[in-house]
Structure 1
């Protein structure tokens, strides 16, 4: 069934006159008759009773006349929805975030997308580890991933969002909390609260590398999966931590943040990773992420 044929039928049914219908449609009368006959062939029945100069609807024609506006409206809305999806103004985007971005970028992205792309539905997953996020991208269960220190991936493209300095998180009663900066080597006897070593999180490797650069290996570590748990553990006095600067957003009582020095290049890179063949909506959301991440 062709939509122009159905549209033509509705006008003829409204007018009950092929000539007036042709005038409304800016078509010739033979063209109108051809479209109606083609629709009748498609449906396998007559829709009009043609008698001399009079035209009336058959029972089947009355049924089609009642239902046609709904069908035409649905098709028009479908075209609009597909066009919006093709342009990136509609659709679903599933995004995963590493722990620190969960508390910084995730809420701001949600607000911005709601304002700029109200017909894009976000599905957000926070407090994830970089290896898990990259695996989810490769399996197709995520459309975008905000990760830390991501390795090159042949099937995905990676865009640097920003570089983040690492800071020391200390229990507020710790003597080093009184200093403006903390030398990592001064923490060599402390227990370090870190993200997991298996699966290996990007931050776990970054913290150990910084400590080695400062001349020591932590004598003891406490591994936790979530950044919020890591900061809570520091507040409870269970150890110290080396974290990206945005973790400061977790302002818990009992935790003091201080700049770190003496551990080499104390910087990590936050990136957004997406499949090479991402959707238009995912590309629009990625662009917003890149804008929000500018310091």
Structure 2
């Protein structure tokens, strides 16, 4: 038999071959599979053409395997077992019983998620979850880069082209050195902040800063940065060393470093929307992800 160009092997032909071996005849295989005997014969012939070798020696009363048939028998069982395992895995995935869900979230949202993730994993024991935490910009970039499926953070930069579903508003607070003249006040007026000549802001384009500047502007006030620092952790350190005061989201500012205090603001609306971030090209969420998103909404909207 001449060798032919390799093609796609039909798994039904492997199933038929396995049935012939287990039943000991073409007739037995036809009865087991519910095929006509001619269909069994055609499938064997197609498989022999595909493999470029004869698989059976046909005697008057019984059939025996050729060397090629014996070699195929060694692999056929594993092939069919792998196919059954794959079908079961795909079925589990479709039904939301298995898979990997990747999430990135800001604090304290990441810590709050552990409550629903514990329940989610009990209900879906075959599912794996990867949870990472970081700042809003980092979370947004992880979503945009397809490193995670969903993010929970403040409004992402428009340049990333992500979809944003706000779920709650987080307060932004003033972080001051404990010996600052405004530190003795339980609440600080926005106009007093605007009058300070040592205000530390994050870098231009950061949503913390944009929200703060927009809120002050809407209140008829302007704030000018005496110092710009891209890393919020370094902003906190700068306040701690007495360089000036800063306005940061509560999840970033808390807990305040030693020697500093947190104060709420009045006379300005600078709350930071926090919500779900996804890629617009990610399509409808899988059943598994949809279930988790619903749980997250319920948790964060409460």
Q: TM class by shorter-chain length?
A: 0.7 to 0.9
State TM-score, norm by structure 2: 0.75
Separation of aligned partners in 1, 2:75 and 2:206: 58
The correspondence for 2:265, drawn from 256, 260, 263, is 260
CA RMSD of aligned residues (A): 3.6
Q: Secondary structure at the match of 1:225?
A: coil
* SS of corresponding position for 2:238: helix
Q: Report if the CA contact (8 A) 1:185-1:214 is conserved.
A: no
Question: CA 1:40/1:125 → structure 2, altered by over 3 Å: closer, same or farther?
Answer: farther
Give the structure 1 partner of residue 72 of structure 2: 64
Secondary structure class of the residue paired with 1:277: helix
Unpaired segments ≥5 residues, structure 2: 1-8
Specify which structure has the bigger relative contact order, considering alpha-carbon pairs within 8 angstroms and separated by 6 or more residues.
Answer: 1
Aligned to 2:235: 230
Q: Distance in 2 between matches of 1:186 and 1:155?
A: 37
Q: 2:4: which partner in 1?
A: none
The equivalent position to 1:277 in structure 2, one of 278, 281, 287, is 281
Structure 1: runs of 5+ lacking an equivalent: none
Aligned to 2:301: 294
Alignment partners' CA distance in 2, 1:219 and 1:151: 22
2:51 equivalent in structure 1: 43
Match runs of 1:119-130 below 5 Å: 119=127, 122=130, 124=132, 126-129=134-137
1:164 to 159, 163, 170: 170
Tell me the distance in 1 between the aligned counterparts of 2:280 and 2:95.
17
Specify the SS of the correspondent of 1:176.
coil
Aligned with residue 192 of structure 1, among 199, 202, 212: 199
- TM-score, structure 1 as length reference: 0.77
Structure 2 residue aligned with 1:246, among 244, 247, 251? 251
Is the CA contact (8 Å cut-off) linking 1:92 and 1:123 kept in structure 2?
Answer: no
Distance 1:287 1:226 in 2: 32
SS in 2 for 1:31: helix
- Cα distance, 1:170–1:276 mapped onto 2, change above 3 Å: same
CA apart distance, 1:83: 4.9
Residue 19 of structure 1 aligns to a residue in which SS? Answer: helix
For the structure 1 residues 231 and 85, does the alpha-carbon distance in structure 2 shift closer, same or farther, using more than 3 Å as the test?
Answer: farther
Q: Secondary structure at the match of 1:129?
A: helix
1:73 to 1:228, Cα distance in 2 relative to 1, 3 A = farther
Q: Which residue pairs with 2:3 in the alignment?
A: none
Structure 1 CA distance, aligned partners of 2:94 and 2:238? 46
How far apart are 1:223 and its partner, in Å? 2.0
**Matched residues, number:** 286
List per-residue Cα deviations over 1:85-129 (Å, max 9, x = no partner). 5566666666665xxx2x222344477558446545648573353
SS in 1 for 2:203: coil
Question: Residue in 1 aligned with 2:5?
Answer: none
